[in-house]
Amino acid sequence: MGISFNHVTHLYPGVKRKEYTLALEDVSLDINEKNEFIAIVGKTGSGKSTLIQHMNALKLPTKGTVSIFDNVITPKKRKNPKLKNVRKRVGFVFQFPEYQLFEETVLKDIMFAPINFGMKKEEAEQKALEIAKLLGISHLLKKSPCNLSGGQMRKVAIAGILSYDPDILLLDEPTRGLDPKGQVEIMELFYKIHKETGKTIILITHDMDLVYQYATRVIVLNDTKITYDGDKVKLFLDGIYKDNNLTKPEVLKLIDYLNNKFHYNIDYNTFTLDDLLSKLKEVA
């Protein structure tokens, strides 16, 4: 098993003593080491970021345990295993990438983690150049990460994670702040990595079109609890999405319209507008 949550509750301390915010309540969950593309969705403040920060021990549970590649993380900091092994295997791209970048230059920033995990400098540099090319940010390598746009920072943060090749990738709203072309490129890159290497990818997003196109499993959070964990078609077919304040993907809205108005019989196993277009061509 890759990551397992065993009755995890997380409380954030408040400003006053004995005041707390409940962010996760009694969450149990199993995630495979390989071949999952999980979308975590839910309205703002529902606990999504808190949940994935437990997946590489950035947060410790207040109650319960999280097992990450057999490293058991408990509420007691001192008793926990060394986190370096966990962090190397589970890479995290933050919701706010500016908190993740701190080196003098973009190149040094991308090289930081692989060197920290024991890679030789020359090898780390080679790897950084390769990944920068893949992400189309080679022209930024000499700049200071502080002087980049939000979207560029996000790409640098992603490059910094890909550079040490973790087994599982955690992505907190990775397309936020990117232009439409950049969004497609980044998602296609993650999808390619997932397909070619079988790496498990865990993605938080508010974009239901992305969920419908890429996810193999959807986890819905609502007010600190998991309210749905399963197939994406069922989520939108059964109205469960409505109970959880989610919207339908555009492609499904179009299918509903076409089926109602023209009595087509297009099924919900149609994940993108291109898929829909091919089906319409068949009908025509």
Question: Any idea which residues carry the catalytic annotation?
Answer: 173
Q: Is 100 in the site for Mg ion (CB under 5 A)?
A: no
The two structure tokens encoding residue 117: 């995990």
Size of the chain in residues: 284
Q: For the residues of the chain, what is the DSSP string, one character each? A: --EEEEEEEEEEE-SSTT-EEEEEEEEEEEE-SBS-EEEEE-STTSSHHHHHHTTTTSS--SEEEEEETTEEE-S-GGGSPPHHHHHHHEEEE-SSGGGT--SSSHHHHHHHHHHHTT--HHHHHHHHHHHHHHTT-GGGTTS-GGGS-HHHHHHHHHHHHHTT--SEEEEESTTTTS-HHHHHHHHHHHHHHHHHH-BEEEEE-S-HHHHHHH-SEEEEEETTEEEEEE-HHHHHHTTHHHHTT----HHHHHHHHHHHHH-----S---SHHHHHHHHHHH-
The residue among 49 and 213 lying less far from Mg ion, judged by its C-beta, is 49
Residue among 1, 7, 12, 198 that touches ligand ATP (CB under 6 A) = 12
The residue among 90 and 132 lying less far from Mg ion, judged by its C-beta, is 90
Binding mask 1-40 for Mg ion (x = CB under 5 A): ----------------------------------------
Q: How far apart are CA 16 and CA 213, in angstroms?
A: 44
Phi and psi, residue 4, nearest 5°: -130, 130
Q: Is 50 in the site for ligand ATP (CB under 6 A)?
A: yes
> Smallest distance from the beta carbon of 205 to ligand ATP, in angstroms?
9
Binding mask 167-206 for ligand ATP (x = CB under 6 A): ----------------------------------------
> Smallest distance from the beta carbon of 168 to Mg ion, in angstroms?
18
> Smallest distance from the beta carbon of 49 to Mg ion, in angstroms?
3
Q: Is 270 in the site for Mg ion (CB under 5 A)?
A: no
Count of residues binding ligand ATP (CB under 6 A)? 12
Q: Is 154 in the site for ligand ATP (CB under 6 A)?
A: no
Q: How far apart are CA 249 and CA 229, in angstroms?
A: 18
Residue among 8, 46, 235, 266 that touches ligand ATP (CB under 6 A) = 46
Q: Is 175 in the site for Mg ion (CB under 5 A)?
A: no
Q: Is 224 in the site for Mg ion (CB under 5 A)?
A: no
Q: Is 23 in the site for ligand ATP (CB under 6 A)?
A: yes
Binding mask 87-106 for ligand ATP (x = CB under 6 A): --------x-----------
Q: How far apart are CA 56 and CA 59, in angstroms?
A: 8
> Smallest distance from the beta carbon of 42 to ligand ATP, in angstroms?
6
The residue among 158 and 255 lying less far from ligand ATP, judged by its C-beta, is 158
Q: How far apart are CA 269 and CA 15, in angstroms?
A: 48
Residue 44 contact, options ligand ATP, Mg ion, none, Cβ 5-8 Å cut-off depending on partner type: ligand ATP
> Smallest distance from the beta carbon of 50 to ligand ATP, in angstroms?
3
Binding site for ligand ATP (CB under 6 A): 12, 21, 23, 42, 44-50, 95
Binding site for Mg ion (CB under 5 A): 49, 95
